[in-house]
Structure 1
Amino acid sequence: MVQVTPGDLAAKAVLTAPLSLEADESDSNYRAPNIIQRILSLFSNVRPGSDLTRLQLPPLFNIPKSQLQCYGESVYCITSDMLSKCSKEETPLNRFISVVAWSISTLRPLSFGMAPYNPILGETHHVSKGTLNVLLEQVSHHPPVTALQATDEKENIEMIWCQSPIPKFYGTHVETEVHGKRQLKLLDKNETYTMNSPKLVIRLLPVPRVDWLGNVRIQCQETGLEAELCYRGNSFLPRRSIHRSIKGQVFRSSTLETIYEINGHWDRTVMIKDVSTGKTTVIYNAKEALSGLKTPIVKDPKAVSQNESTVAWGEVSQSILKRNWDKAKEAKTSIEERQRELARERKLREEEWDPKYFTVSYSKESGWDCLPKQKLVPAAPIVVND
C-alpha cells in the first residue's frame, strides 16, 4: 500500500490507496478500537452549533492522508475516462450530461469515525494522470480554504476549485458545508460549467453512518443548460432504496423546460430518463468508475516539493499504518505547534500569507475566489499509472 522512493524528500512521502467503493473495508486498517465510544467522548464538551474548524482530532480518528489529497483523488483517481468524455461529446446537451455524470463521480465514500488531516497552510499536492495535471494548495488555514487547478492540454480542459469546508456539531450529527464553487472549462468549446458540493453529514445517533446530502446545482451559461441534483440519505433507520440516492432533473434555464429526469444511487448506478420519449439511459456506473483504483507513485524523486502533502504528513501517516498511536500523536502535535509558531511570527512581522500558486480573494457576496497564477499545471513528480 505504501510507496517509498529514494531522495531526501521523496523518501518521506507516504502514498496510500485512494478512497473508493471499497473504502469501508480498506479503512478498517486504520480504525481504532471502540470508535463510537471514543467519538462520543470527543464531542462530550462541544456545544450544539459549534464550529469545529479548530478542533484538533487525535490520530486515532485519522485516515493516513490529508483533505488536500482527498480533493485531488476525486479528480485524478478514477478508472473510466469520464473527464475527457465531457469534451469529446458532439452536442452541448450530451456534453452537459457527461459533466453531470463526472460531477457525481467526484463523491467518494468515507468510513464512520475516520477523517483526513486538516491541511496546513502552504501545503500542496501535485499529481499527474496521463495528460491531466492536478495541483492543489492550502491557501488559508483559518478558515480552511483549498484551491485546485487541473489542466489537460490535450483535451482542452481546465478545472478550478475554491473550497472551504465548515464542520458544525449538532448534537446527534456533524454537518460539513463545503462553501465555494467548482468550475470545469471545456476550452475549445468555450463552455464553463459551475457547480457546488453537497454537504457531508456524519450521524452519531441512532445509527452511525456518513452521508453526502443536499442540493447540487450545475450550470452552463453558454448553453443555457442547468441541472439540479438532490443527494438523499436515511433520516432514521437505514433503507437501501434511499441510502446514497440521487434525484434530479436537467432543464433549460430560459424556459425551465425539463429535458431529462435523473434517478439512482451515487454508489451504484445513475440513470436519466428522456421526458419526451421515456427512454432511460445509464449515465454513471460507480463500480466501473471507482473500483480497482491505483495508488499514485513517485516518478521523479528530485522534483518532490518540501510542501508536498504526502511528505508533510509522512511521519504521521507511517505511524498510523503501523498503529503506533503515541508516535503518530507526537508527530502530529509537532506539525500543529510549528504552524502556530509560524502564525505568531507572521503576526509580529505584520505579514499576510501569500499563496504560491493562486491569487485569493473574499467578499460577503461571492465568498472565496481562487485564481491560478499559471495558465497550465506542469507535469507532476507523482503520477497515477493507467
Structure 2
Amino acid sequence: MTSDTKAGAAATEPSDNAVPASQAADFSSFVKGILSFTGDLSSLTCPSFLLNGISLLEYGAHWNDYPKTLVDIAQSRSPEERIRLVARWFVSTLYGSYNKRVAESDAGEKKPFNPILGEQFRAAWGDAESGETTFVCEQVSHHPPVSAIYFENAAAGIYGSGHFSQKSKFKGMTMRVVQEGRVTLRLVGSDEVYCLTLPSLNICSILTGRPFLEMSGTTYIRSSKGHTAEFEWHTKPWLYGEYHKFDGRIFRDPAPRFAPDGPGREPLFEMRGKWVAKSTVVDVRTGEEQVLFDVHAQPAADIVIKPLAEQSELESRRVWHKVSEALRAGNYDVASREKTAIEEAQRALRRRRAEANAEWAPALFTWVPDADADPAVKSCYAYLYSAKDSVGTGSWVFKAALASTAAAPSAPSKAASEASGTQTPSDAFSTAPGSVV
C-alpha cells in the first residue's frame, strides 16, 4: 500500500453506523442531550460503547511518537534551522494525537476516560540513534480538568513541559473543542526556549456513532531568539476539497507582541500539506523545497510502559483496567458499572477532603505564573498572548525537570522518590522486553 493510499484512508470519515443495537436507546438519549446542552459537554455522561478504553493522559504521549525529530532540534547549531526543526517535530506529534486511532481501526474517534485527580501516565521510547526519551503526565486539576505533561531526552539535552485543558460545545452537527494550554520546549545549557500554543478540534459525524476529528484555527511557535512559526489548520469545505490540510509560515519578528502582517517581519519558510500524511517546507529566499514531515515514511517508535503489576495505584492503566477490559469484551453494562464505581469513589474522596479542610496538591508538577517565569519564557508568552489568549498566563512545570535536577539541594533517593510518586522520568520506567506494548 502506498503512502497516498494510506493517507486517503486517513482523510475520510469512518464508514457505516457503529451503534450497537443494545446501546441504541442510550445513544439516542446522549444525542438528544448534546443537541440541547448549552454548557461544557465534558460534564455529560457518554455511553460506554463510545469510550475508547484509554485515559486522556495517554494522548499526551504522542508528543514523542518520533523521538528523532525531537533530538534533531538539539543537534542543530542555527537558530533558523532549529525553528524549522521545532515546526517539524510539532507536526510529527499530530497524527498520533488526533487521527491514528481512526485511520488504523476505522472504528471512529471515541471518547477517552476523564482522568481522576492525581492520575499519572508514564512511558518511554528507546532508540539506538536517539537514546531514551521519557514522558510523564499528571492530572493536576479536576474542576476544570487540566493535564500536565513533561518529556525529556537526557542524552540530547532537550526537554519540554506543558499542560492542556479542553472545553467543548456542540454547534450544528459538530462538537467544537477549544484546547487551552501551552507547551514549552528547552535545550540544556541554552537560554533559548520555544513556546507553543494548541490547536482547536472539530469532532465530526457524531450522529453516526463513528466520529472523526479535524483540526481548525491557528497555532503558533515562538522562539526566544525572535523566530515565529504560524500554522493555519483547514477543515474540509462543505462541498469540495480535502480533509486535514494546513499551511503555514516561519518568519523572524523582532516585535515584542504578535501583530498580523507586522512591518518588521522577515519571511524565512513556507509550509503546506496534510498533517495526516506528507507536508513540505520551502525556503522563500532560495526556493528550495524539502519534506517537512511524512507520517508514513518511517514507523512511529515503540512505546515502553511498565507492566500493570508494577504500576502505582494512580497510574492510568491500573486505574481504568477493569473498565478497559469490559470494553474490549464488548460488555458495556459492566464497563458502565466499573466506571461509575471509580467516579463515586472520587466524589467520596473529595467530600472527605472538604470535611477535613485538606488541600490537595499535585505530586509531580507545580504552577508557575508568567510573572514569576524566567525572562525568555515570559517574553515568548507575552508575544503569543496577543495572538491567542487560550495560551493562558502561566505554566505547570515538572518539579524534577532535566535542567533543575543537578541544582536541587537534596534529591531524594530512588527508593524514597518512587514511594512518594515524585521520581524523575528516567527513574520511572522499565525497558525490559516484556514491557513493550
Per the TM alignment, residue 77 of structure 1 is displaced from its structure 2 partner at its CA by 3.0
**Which of 306, 316, 323 does residue 316 from structure 1 map onto?**
323
**Which of 275, 281, 306 does residue 284 from structure 2 map onto?**
275
With over 3 angstroms needed to count, the CA separation of the structure-2 counterparts of 1:129 and 1:82, relative to structure 1, is: same
- Aligned residue number for residue 166 of structure 2: 165
**1:36 & 1:150 partners in 2: Cα distance?**
41
Per the TM alignment, residue 378 of structure 1 is displaced from its structure 2 partner at its CA by 3.2
Q: What is the CA deviation profile of residues 259-304 of structure 1, one whole-angstrom value per residue up to 9, with x for unaligned ones? A: 1111111011111111122111111001135x465353436954x2
- Aligned residue number for residue 68 of structure 1: 57
Amino acid of the residue matched to residue 161 of structure 2?
I
With over 3 angstroms needed to count, the CA separation of the structure-2 counterparts of 1:294 and 1:37, relative to structure 1, is: farther
**Which of 125, 130, 145 does residue 129 from structure 1 map onto?**
125
With over 3 angstroms needed to count, the CA separation of the structure-2 counterparts of 1:24 and 1:311, relative to structure 1, is: farther
- Aligned residue number for residue 287 of structure 1: 296
Conserved 8 A contact 1:53-1:143: no
Per the TM alignment, residue 76 of structure 1 is displaced from its structure 2 partner at its CA by 3.1
Per the TM alignment, residue 38 of structure 1 is displaced from its structure 2 partner at its CA by 6.4
- Aligned residue number for residue 105 of structure 1: 92
- Aligned residue number for residue 406 of structure 2: none
Conserved 8 A contact 2:279-2:294: yes
Structure having greater relative contact order (Cα 8 Å, sep ≥ 6) = 1
Amino acid of the residue matched to residue 133 of structure 1?
T
Q: What is the CA deviation profile of residues 71-93 of structure 1, one whole-angstrom value per residue up to 9, with x for unaligned ones? A: 12x12333x62110111122111
Per the TM alignment, residue 330 of structure 1 is displaced from its structure 2 partner at its CA by 1.0
**1:238 & 1:206 partners in 2: Cα distance?**
21
With over 3 angstroms needed to count, the CA separation of the structure-2 counterparts of 1:205 and 1:71, relative to structure 1, is: closer
Conserved 8 A contact 2:180-2:392: no
**2:206 & 2:362 partners in 1: Cα distance?**
40
Per the TM alignment, residue 155 of structure 1 is displaced from its structure 2 partner at its CA by 0.7
**Which of 301, 306, 317 does residue 298 from structure 1 map onto?**
306
Q: Please give the residue correspondences for 1:258-273 in structure 2 after superposition, counting only pairs within 5 Å.
A: 258-273=267-282
Per the TM alignment, residue 385 of structure 1 is displaced from its structure 2 partner at its CA by 5.6
With over 3 angstroms needed to count, the CA separation of the structure-2 counterparts of 1:38 and 1:90, relative to structure 1, is: farther
Q: What is the CA deviation profile of residues 298-339 of structure 1, one whole-angstrom value per residue up to 9, with x for unaligned ones? A: 36954x211010110111111111111111111111111111
**Which of 382, 398, 401 does residue 375 from structure 1 map onto?**
401
Aligned length: 357
Q: What is the CA deviation profile of residues 87-109 of structure 1, one whole-angstrom value per residue up to 9, with x for unaligned ones? A: 11221111111100111111130
**1:37 & 1:64 partners in 2: Cα distance?**
21
Q: Structure 1 regions of 5+ residues with no counterpart?
A: 1-19
Conserved 8 A contact 2:280-2:293: yes
Amino acid of the residue matched to residue 215 of structure 1?
T
Amino acid of the residue matched to residue 213 of structure 2?
V
Amino acid of the residue matched to residue 250 of structure 1?
I
Q: Please give the residue correspondences for 1:162-201 in structure 2 after superposition, counting only pairs within 5 Å.
A: 162-201=163-202
- Aligned residue number for residue 4 of structure 1: none
Q: Please give the residue correspondences for 1:1-386 in structure 2 after superposition, counting only pairs within 5 Å.
A: 32-33=19-20, 41-46=29-34, 47=36, 49-72=38-61, 74-78=62-66, 81-107=68-94, 108=96, 109=99, 110-111=101-102, 112-130=108-126, 131-204=132-205, 209-221=212-224, 223-237=225-239, 239-240=241-242, 243-254=243-254, 255-289=264-298, 291=299, 294=302, 296-298=304-306, 301-302=309-310, 304-360=311-367, 366-367=392-393, 369-376=395-402, 377-379=424-426, 380-381=428-429, 383=431
Amino acid of the residue matched to residue 51 of structure 2?
N
Name which of structure 1's ranges 56-65 and 31-40 shifts more when overlaid on structure 2.
Answer: 31-40
**1:313 & 1:362 partners in 2: Cα distance?**
32
**1:285 & 1:177 partners in 2: Cα distance?**
26
Partner-residue secondary structure (3-state), 1:341: helix
| RMSD across aligned positions (CA) | 3.0
Q: Structure 2 regions of 5+ residues with no counterpart?
A: 1-5, 103-107, 127-131, 255-263, 371-388, 403-423
- Give 1 or 2: higher helix fraction: 2
Partner-residue secondary structure (3-state), 2:425: coil
Per the TM alignment, residue 41 of structure 1 is displaced from its structure 2 partner at its CA by 3.9
**1:214 & 1:287 partners in 2: Cα distance?**
25
- Aligned residue number for residue 7 of structure 1: none
- Aligned residue number for residue 12 of structure 1: none
Q: What is the CA deviation profile of residues 135-165 of structure 1, one whole-angstrom value per residue up to 9, with x for unaligned ones? A: 1100001101001111221111111011111
**2:150 & 2:114 partners in 1: Cα distance?**
19
Per the TM alignment, residue 58 of structure 1 is displaced from its structure 2 partner at its CA by 2.5
Per the TM alignment, residue 353 of structure 1 is displaced from its structure 2 partner at its CA by 1.7
Identity rate of aligned residues, in percent? 27
Per the TM alignment, residue 205 of structure 1 is displaced from its structure 2 partner at its CA by 7.5
With over 3 angstroms needed to count, the CA separation of the structure-2 counterparts of 1:87 and 1:292, relative to structure 1, is: closer
**1:201 & 1:357 partners in 2: Cα distance?**
31
Partner-residue secondary structure (3-state), 1:188: coil
- Give 1 or 2: higher strand fraction: 1
Conserved 8 A contact 1:127-1:135: yes
Conserved 8 A contact 2:124-2:303: no
Conserved 8 A contact 1:48-1:170: no
With over 3 angstroms needed to count, the CA separation of the structure-2 counterparts of 1:326 and 1:36, relative to structure 1, is: closer
Amino acid of the residue matched to residue 126 of structure 1?
R
Conserved 8 A contact 1:361-1:369: yes
Per the TM alignment, residue 224 of structure 1 is displaced from its structure 2 partner at its CA by 1.1
